[in-house]
Amino acid sequence: SVHLRTSRTPARSAAWRRRRRGTGLVVRAEMFGQLTTGLESAWNKLRGVGVLTKENIAEPMRDIRRALLEADIVHDELVQLMGGEVSDIVFAKSGPTVILLAGLQGVGKTTVCAKLAFYLKKLGKSCMLVAADIYRPAAIDQLTILGKQVGVPVYSEGTEAKPTQITKNAMEEAKSKNIDAIVVDTAGRLQIDRSMMDELKEVKKAVNPTEVLLVVDAMTGQEAAALVTTFNIEIGITGAILTKLDGDSRGGAALSVKEVSGRPIKFVGRGERLEDLELFYPDRMAQRVLGMGDVLSFVEKTQEVMRQEEAIELQKKIMSAKFDFNDFLKQSQNVAKMGSMSRIIGMMPGMNKITPAQIREAEKRLAFVESMINAMTAEEREKPELLAESRERRIRVAEESGKTEQEVSQLVAQLFQMRAQMQKLMGMVQGQEAIAGMG
Ligand code: GDP
Ligand code: MG
């Protein structure tokens, strides 16, 4: 049967080493492009063929193999690019660990505060949240509610005190109460601005945090690199947290963090609940960025559709005019499978070739045909003539499948039409071969 690589192999070509030396995201974006182009090209070739044979699937298979190889190479490179390994919270050697959160407005800082408190609690650490976003009273209320949910104290001095003072006082309180860690929620703006940076710098100077984590929305596109660079230069970060990864972005923003700041992504947020915060695994992220999951299911589906023996068997049947209802069913199943393949391909950018409506149509058609063929006897399936000749048989199939006699008649007629078309096609091919042979 057709054999495809579905697992990663360590084979490293000269091309790989050349690329390894290549720098910047431009090269990588190009490689990603190759992956999708390779699959697209394979798909287009596959869609063009009616009956799959050893000969006509060879080329699309080559495309898929090449695409996978590329994906593999890029995958390894992406893992390295994102730091290679998991990196957890660092704790202070003595006194409370101070975790300062920074980031633009709406990225999920306040939510992350609560999630981190929840995470730390699970590690057996006592924790306190600090309300240093004083510009919106609602922000303090939000943090207070979240603190109650987690079951940790929230330190607040209302909206009158300065963030620096609040944070300093919170740290003293944590010290005196022997609290292991404080997580400081700060204000964000819609855009990076001077006063936000100055405020963060001041807070940082005042409490010398153990961690300064930049919270980044996974939907952030091209501007992620500039964002991370600015925060890192201005205040100095120790890592980042990527939020809203439960959305449908590929999370490409993850690629720039380490590269531009030298600091790792430590956590990812995957939802609004407290437990939706996980350590960041570069390996998984690389798969997501590349759409490896999609690629692998594509390959699996392809293998399903293209069992070569089946294709050859089918071709023999056609040549000997014995295309029957068993073959008909197989063919219909393949069409439906191709439909679900295209759904996977459709997940990739720029590849929406078959609409979901068309896929649903093919699947509906399959269910419709299947129920009638299932109601046929083995003999009837192999000898459709029996059904063509006997109205009684057609009525019986209709009754058993819950269809009308007319629908069964149409199915039988369709089979004979397909047979005739295939015979004609075969005749043409054989004719051409004969002509070519004469030359
Ligand atoms: P802040 O302005 O940075 O403090 O952002 P918030 O913590 O107030 O979050 C803004 C919105 O994003 C809220 O509606 C959160 O529920 C939502 N949010 C935060 N993190 C996530 C996440 O990982 N996934 C999803 N789907 N929503 C999130
Ligand atoms: Mg907030």
**Ligand 2 mean position to 384 CA, how many Å?**
70
Task: Tell me how many helices (H) and strands (E) the chain has.
Answer: 18, 8
What are the residues whose beta carbon lies below 5 Å from ligand 2 (ion)? 109-110, 139
Kindly report the CATH number assigned to the domain that includes residue 108: 3.40.50.300
Protein residue with least CA distance to atom 13, ligand 1: 108
**Distance from the CA of 375 to the center of ligand 2, in angstroms?**
62
Closest listed ligand to the CA of 108: 1
Residue 271 Cα to ligand 1 midpoint, Å, equals 8
In this prediction the ipTM stands at: 0.99
Write the DSSP symbol of residue 291: T
What does the DSSP assignment read for 194-221? HHHHHHHHHHHHHH--SEEEEEEETT--
Pairing of strands 265-269, 277-279: antiparallel
Per-residue pLDDT of 183-223, as tens digits, reads 999 999 988 899 999 999 999 999 999 999 999 999 887 78
Proximal ligand: closest to the CA of 133: 2
Residue 198 falls inside a structural domain: yes
Ligand 1 pocket check: which of 101, 105, 111, 268 to mutate, most ligand atoms within 8 Å of Cβ? 111
Residue 264 domain-assigned (yes or no): yes
Whether 194 is covered by a domain: the verdict is yes
Measuring from each residue's beta carbon to the nearest atom of ligand 1, which residues come in under 6 Å? 103, 105-111, 188, 243-244, 246, 269-272, 276
Q: In the chain, how many domains are there?
A: 1
Residue 438 lies in a domain: no
45-49, 324-328, 333-337: which is most confident: 324-328
The answer to whether residue 215 is domain-embedded is yes
Render pLDDT for 13-57 as a digit per residue (tens, 0 to 9): 445 444 444 333 333 444 444 455 566 666 566 555 555 555 666
- Residue 273 covered by a domain: yes
Distance CA 85, CA 317 (A): 55
Q: What is the pTM of this model?
A: 0.63
Closest ligand 1 atom, residue 243 Cα: 23
Which residue minimizes the CA distance to atom 9 of ligand 1?
108
Query: Is 357 contained in some domain?
Result: no
pLDDT tens digits, residue range 373-394?
Answer: 999 999 999 999 999 999 999 9
Sign for the CA dihedral angle at 316, 321, 327, 331 comes to positive
Domain hosting residue 135, numbered range: 97-280
Residue 147 lies in a domain: yes
Q: Give the pLDDT band of residue 268 (cuts 50, 70, 90).
A: very high
- Residue 176's contacts (CB-CB under 8 Å, 6 or more residues apart) are none
